[in-house]
Amino acid sequence: MRRIFAYLAAMVAGCALGLGSALWLAGLWPEGRSLAFGDVDVGGWRSDFAIGSQAADPYTRARVARHGLLALAKSEAVYFTRLVDDTGAPLREACTYRLTGGAMPAGWWSVTLYDGASMLPANTDNALSIDASGAGEGAWEAVIAPTRPDGAARWISSRGAGTFDLTLRLYTPDPALLATPKTALSPPKVELVTCKDSL
């Protein structure tokens, strides 16, 4: 009888562990986990270079499908996600940030803001991203805030986003980026300017 109970306990534990790990790795549990995962970290921007490649395991594929990334092949696009500002604090709608960067090792790039559910915030500001065509060549700057600050040439709206993240997409990446991302990429900086709840 003890052996039967031991077998049953092992089966229940195995099922719980298998289900829990599958939900965790697929990004389904806990609720609201972002796509900022992977073994590539460049200045706080994280990526998994298995995305968009044949090396992607079933868990990675499930997580990409869950978050609606619709990843292209790695030779066509690389994705980096940022959850925190330069101080390490989570990105929040109540705060204003200065996003600065320069030329990227890719044919084209964009930075897009997503809410905690990996969705575009439900606002009508029509200002949820910036890209290479709007930033021009060389150094660029944008403001991330719930309302457009006076004089801001480039603005990303965080209105309705709550706690959010940023996704940097690099299209037609340079071979050097794929080979040595930490030396090839100088990612955008996310500087905290002010927060309404700290005034």
pLDDT of residue 73: 81
Say what the pTM is: 0.76
pLDDT of residue 151: 87
Q: Which residues of 118-142 are buried (b: 16+ CB within 10 A; e: fewer)?
A: beebeeeeebbbbebeebeeeebbb
Residue 73 and residue 86: Cα distance in Å, rounded? 30
**For residues 111 and 188, is the Cβ–Cβ distance under 8 A?**
yes
pLDDT of residue 11: 77
pLDDT of residue 17: 66
pLDDT of residue 59: 53
pLDDT of residue 30: 52
**For residues 50 and 57, is the Cβ–Cβ distance under 8 A?**
yes
pLDDT of residue 63: 53
Chain-centroid distance of CA 18 in Å reads: 26
Domain 32-198: top CATH class: mainly beta
Amino acid code (one letter) for 165: D
pLDDT of residue 118: 85
**Among 169, 158, 93, 164, which residue's Cα sits nearest to residue 131?**
169
pLDDT of residue 38: 66
In a structure prediction context, what are the per-residue pLDDT tens digits for the chain, which is 199 residues long?
Answer: 777 766 676 677 666 665 555 444 444 455 444 445 568 999 999 998 765 545 545 555 555 555 555 567 888 999 999 999 999 999 999 999 999 999 999 999 999 999 988 899 999 999 999 999 988 889 999 999 999 999 889 999 999 999 999 999 999 999 999 999 999 999 999 999 999 876 5
